[in-house]
Structure 1
Amino acid sequence: MGRNENSKTAVIVGAGPGGLAAAMLLGAKGYEVDVYEKQPVPGGRSGRLKLGDYTFDRGATFLMMPQLLEELFEQAGRSVHNYVELHKLDPLYGLYFDQGRTVLMPSSDNEETARRIQALFPGEEAGFYRFMTDESVKYAHVEPLLRRPFGGFGDYMKADAIKALPHLKITDTVYGQLSRYFKDERLKYAFTFQSKYLGMSAWECPGTFTILSFMEHRYGLLHPKGGISALWDAMVRVAEEHGVRFHLGTPVERILTEKGRAVGVSVQGGERRTADHVVIGADFATAMNGLFEPGVLKKYTPEKLEAKKYSCSTAMLYLGIDGEIDLPHHSVHFANDYPKNVEEITGSQKLSEDPSIYVHNPSKLDPTLAPAGKSAIYVLMPVPNLKGDADWSGRREELKEWMLDRVEAIDQLKGLRGRIEQEAFFTPLDWQDSLDVYRGATFNLSHNLGQMMAFRPHNKFEEVDRVWLVGGGTHPGSGLPTIFESARISVDLIEKTDRAKQARPAPQPLGAAGGSE
């Protein structure tokens, strides 16, 4: 397909969730778009992993806030339901405490969840109802702030931000907020563990983020048939239907700039592609360190990037298992001393002797991921990022066996080693070296108060004109719903910039207007 000389052009660096969403939206708006992705598959750190006949999602394993995804496809003139088969999960997940002796399985039906809380923690169900009522008010105030840019401090003075401020609970923590609703520590953990989606401790994460747990209970969790990677395939298809060109396995080496403005990119092999706009969907710190010529950036130098706060990392096991697994679709297995485990991950940054783990067991619901009668199991253990001192290179095999020991300590997974047909071990070092995740910080920049909203890298990049950011390293933050929103915000800003330029009157010769007859 030839280029239309009159259309606006954009290059997108990275085909992660933010890059794919931006490609769909820009393509639907008539932009000529090229997407360059270093990896051979779309999805970024959440791309598809194949091990023999088994299929895994590398990172994210579920969808929340399905209405945002529906809106995204509608803005591209499509229905997500024509491309992906979405299954609502019930229970949402299994939460295993006390070495599995206490199990809470929250339902997608809030009344059923209240009954299950009452059965395990008598009298605490009233706190659940109060939590859901209060959080619905908070969410109504917070949600508009996630849909618009925060380009400076003036954005805090807008009416929606002023009205939201009393509801944000920014001076409290997620754990502090949940302590207002529940007495039993295990129940508090059941509504605070979601802080790990931000790679943060619930004892440090701003109280605003209790909305993560609320959103799960209010809107449910969904599994796309074929895994999350089936959604990336769908987004590629929609973008291609709008003329977007994808270049997988093609790394961008430099963003080309002239006089403080991006003019295109150079890609591996020497090709140069000019564009009116450059959208960066790559890992934020890695992109800042590698995509610009030295000296171009002043605010995001290597030293200043290193000084920022980053999320925890994850150690991963992807296991093709002979037979079925008697665990729900999602399960979280809490350490006996969960506060200590969290402090070690995010504070002292050392490996816990008693770690918590998350197990994804989608094969009972989705037969496309493993051969009949077998299971594709994904095990995630939150660990310190590479600022910690764990030797993931020299002790790789030892640490893999240690993680397998923890897995086999779960009753339903005893003897699992003897059933493994395929396996892959992925460490914080692999996140950094294979997928360019800075310091292996799987959930990107931390979400402390100094790195939220106007303090987070802006969607309209501050340092170079005509550069736009999408993904977890910009506003509104990490997690699929907010990453999709980052793309929508950035595309809206791109369109406004071009409309303003078109509306500007062309320069006229002296005397052509306003002169005497």
Structure 2
Amino acid sequence: MKKIVIIGGGLGGLAAAAVLASSGCSVSLYERNKHLGGKLKPEKLGSHTFDFGPNTITMPHVFDSVFQEAGEDPRSYYEWVKLDDHTANWSADGRRFLMSTEKETVLEQLKVIDPYAYRHYENYLGEVGKLYQLSEQAFFHRTFSSWKDYLSPSLFSAFTKVKPLETMDHFHRRFFKDPFLLQVFNRYATYIGSSPYTSPATFSMIGFLEMVQGVYYVKGGTVKLAQSLAKLAVKHGAEIHTEAEVAEIITTNRRAAGVRLRSGERIEADDVILNGDLLHALPKLVRNEERRVMTDKRIGRTSPSISAFVIMAGLDHHHDSLIHHQAYFSGNYKREFSDLFQGRWPDDPTIYISNSSFTDKSVSPEGSNLFILVNAPPISEKNTASFDADRYKESIYDKLEKQGVLIRPFLKEEKIVTPEDIQEQFGAYRGALYGIASNTKKDTFLRPFNRSQDIENLYFAGGTTHPGGGSPMVVISGKNVAKTILGKNR
């Protein structure tokens, strides 16, 4: 029986554990935190429950597939709730645009806001649908172990068709003319921690996921996805250890022989999977002299994605004017991204709010549970010393008040999470939410391989590697690596 050690209990590590355990491997997973799920962390403030990590869930079939391939019914573990009218967007001057999978709902709004977009919306849906289909067929389910993996004729053909040389903003300008609508659809770049003015149009396929396939919520909280994956893996024989930090990957003759825990215990393995932010974890676990490719120098040159400033606010009444998702946009979106990637805190940030109690009162029975997030620059020396988290929080409340969203009079519980907290809690390089930014073609398509070039039987899963950031992609990466170990994947 093949013995696999998995470092990190994020969604990628849990998916890999479930696939491998259900295929008969001996699986041991070690997670340094008390919770499983990585950034998908449950938070409880009084009677208010929050999902810290991803709140907007797409591609539910990806999560379901892990259970189905293990011979299990995912509905016996968790229940999807589809949000047809899923995101209310507000411009700086108070205009509203509701995103919906109901095409007529969108077209009615476009007819008033942007007649050009009204005429071109069908074409837009067709184009983003093509981008998704090409990516799903050619990229998502492929592992990369060396440069030779990029030489596939079918991969090259697909690559030329997914608009790698066009920016997201340029792509969207073909279909939308109103500046506010451009902000709304360009916001998809933040799902991968990048700027719409530099990231490839390839990621505009997210529009297909949200406007056609749909946005979903898991009844009881999206943390149930991580809990369910863990339950599945354990049911099939995996051992999962929390509060068990791995201190070192033990190598012999350029092979991973196992791991050493912080406690000193040594665990042998035939293969090791590292599920986490490679930029942060790899230097801690493998000495620099053993990393001829992923060296400290190379990691230091890498551009991290954006981070986040989060407020979890528990209110004493239900803010029924707030639906499940909403975004309040800055007056100058281009300047906001320029600030973020030059290491500055935006003074007029776009604000996202998740109010899951709108859909599911059980997670916050006494009032709204507002998960308020603004994009933040990755940590650097110039943006940490003088930053005042409380003052920034108050400026966010001020901006929301101008949009008619009152927080302070109803506030009962509150917690702030800064980029430094994200770095410490989740082992995120410079506090980045998505590992490597996708602001260049190289960082988008030539991410670190799923298999180490330095250590033969060390594999990588998570947002830093292929196929990229976002919870569905992370789950796919875990599945891909597991199937590669089993000899079932490309």
- Shorter-chain TM-score tier: over 0.9
2-structure distance, mates of 1:253, 1:462? 21
Q: Root-mean-square deviation (CA), in Å?
A: 1.7
1-structure distance, mates of 2:386, 2:241? 32
Q: Is the 8 A contact 1:141 1:163 kept in 2?
A: no
Match of 1:504 in 2: none
Q: Does 1:389 align with 2:382?
A: yes
Q: Does 1:449 align with 2:444?
A: no
Q: How far is 1:138 from its partner?
A: 2.5
Q: Is the 8 A contact 2:30 2:246 kept in 1?
A: yes
Q: Does 1:74 align with 2:65?
A: no
246 and 381 in structure 1: CA distance in 2 versus 1, 3 angstrom threshold:
same
**Of 466, 473, 484, which residue of structure 1 is paired with 2:475?**
484
Match of 1:53 in 2: 47
Q: How far is 1:481 from its partner?
A: 1.4
1:347-392 CA-to-partner distances (Å, cap 9, x unmatched) read x2211221111000110211221133x1111000001110362236
**Of 84, 103, 114, which residue of structure 1 is paired with 2:96?**
103
**Of 208, 211, 214, which residue of structure 1 is paired with 2:208?**
214
1-structure distance, mates of 2:223, 2:386? 28
**Of 111, 119, 128, which residue of structure 2 is paired with 1:126?**
119
Q: How far is 1:393 from its partner?
A: 7.7
TM-score w.r.t. the length of structure 2 is 0.95
2-structure distance, mates of 1:355, 1:116? 25
**Of 247, 269, 273, which residue of structure 2 is paired with 1:275?**
269
Match of 1:503 in 2: none
Q: Quick one: which amino acid aligns to residue 449 of structure 1?
A: K
Q: Is the 8 A contact 2:113 2:178 kept in 1?
A: no
Q: How far is 1:92 from its partner?
A: 1.9
Q: Quick one: which amino acid aligns to residue 419 of structure 2?
A: P
Match of 1:470 in 2: 461
Q: Quick one: which amino acid aligns to residue 404 of structure 1?
A: Y
38 and 182 in structure 1: CA distance in 2 versus 1, 3 angstrom threshold:
same
Q: How far is 1:86 from its partner?
A: 0.9
Q: Quick one: which amino acid aligns to residue 30 of structure 2?
A: Y
Structure 2 unaligned residues grouped into runs of 5+: none
1-structure distance, mates of 2:457, 2:150? 24
Aligned residues between the structures: 486
| Structure 1 segment 407-418 matched on structure 2, within 5 A | 407-411=400-404, 413-414=405-406, 416-418=407-409
Q: Does 1:438 align with 2:444?
A: no
1:9-44 CA-to-partner distances (Å, cap 9, x unmatched) read 111111101011111101111111111111101111
Q: Secondary structure in 2 aligned to 1:235?
A: helix
Q: Does 1:117 align with 2:110?
A: yes
Q: Is the 8 A contact 2:209 2:215 kept in 1?
A: no
1:46-83 CA-to-partner distances (Å, cap 9, x unmatched) read 21112222211111112101122222221122122211
Q: Quick one: which amino acid aligns to residue 211 of structure 2?
A: H
2-structure distance, mates of 1:56, 1:480? 17
Match of 2:152 in 1: 158
Q: How far is 1:342 from its partner?
A: 1.8
Q: Is the 8 A contact 1:392 1:399 kept in 2?
A: no
Match of 1:86 in 2: 80
1-structure distance, mates of 2:20, 2:6? 10
| Structure 1 segment 113-262 matched on structure 2, within 5 A | 113-144=106-137, 145-262=139-256
Identity, % of aligned pairs? Answer: 28
Match of 1:313 in 2: 307
238 and 197 in structure 1: CA distance in 2 versus 1, 3 angstrom threshold:
same
2-structure distance, mates of 1:397, 1:115? 41
Q: How far is 1:317 from its partner?
A: 0.3
Q: Is the 8 A contact 1:393 1:429 kept in 2?
A: no
Match of 1:345 in 2: 340
Q: How far is 1:311 from its partner?
A: 0.4
94 and 172 in structure 1: CA distance in 2 versus 1, 3 angstrom threshold:
same
Q: Secondary structure in 1 aligned to 2:105?
A: helix
Q: How far is 1:294 from its partner?
A: 4.2
Q: How far is 1:267 from its partner?
A: 0.9
Q: Secondary structure in 1 aligned to 2:99?
A: coil
1:196-223 CA-to-partner distances (Å, cap 9, x unmatched) read 0111110000111111122211210000
Moved >4 Å (runs of 4+): none
Match of 2:487 in 1: 496
320 and 424 in structure 1: CA distance in 2 versus 1, 3 angstrom threshold:
same
Q: How far is 1:187 from its partner?
A: 1.5
Q: Quick one: which amino acid aligns to residue 35 of structure 2?
A: V
1-structure distance, mates of 2:25, 2:402? 53
Q: Quick one: which amino acid aligns to residue 389 of structure 2?
A: R
Larger Rg, first or second structure (1 or 2): 1
Q: Is the 8 A contact 1:253 1:266 kept in 2?
A: yes
Q: Quick one: which amino acid aligns to residue 439 of structure 1?
A: R
Q: Secondary structure in 2 aligned to 1:124?
A: helix
| Structure 1 segment 358-397 matched on structure 2, within 5 A | 358-372=352-366, 374-387=367-380, 389-391=382-384, 395-397=388-390
Q: Is the 8 A contact 1:349 1:388 kept in 2?
A: no
Q: Is the 8 A contact 2:40 2:226 kept in 1?
A: no
Q: Is the 8 A contact 1:95 1:103 kept in 2?
A: yes
Q: How far is 1:402 from its partner?
A: 3.0
Q: Is the 8 A contact 1:280 1:470 kept in 2?
A: yes
1-structure distance, mates of 2:9, 2:118? 43
Q: Is the 8 A contact 1:452 1:475 kept in 2?
A: no
Match of 1:26 in 2: 20
Q: Quick one: which amino acid aligns to residue 437 of structure 1?
A: A
**Of 404, 419, 425, which residue of structure 1 is paired with 2:416?**
425
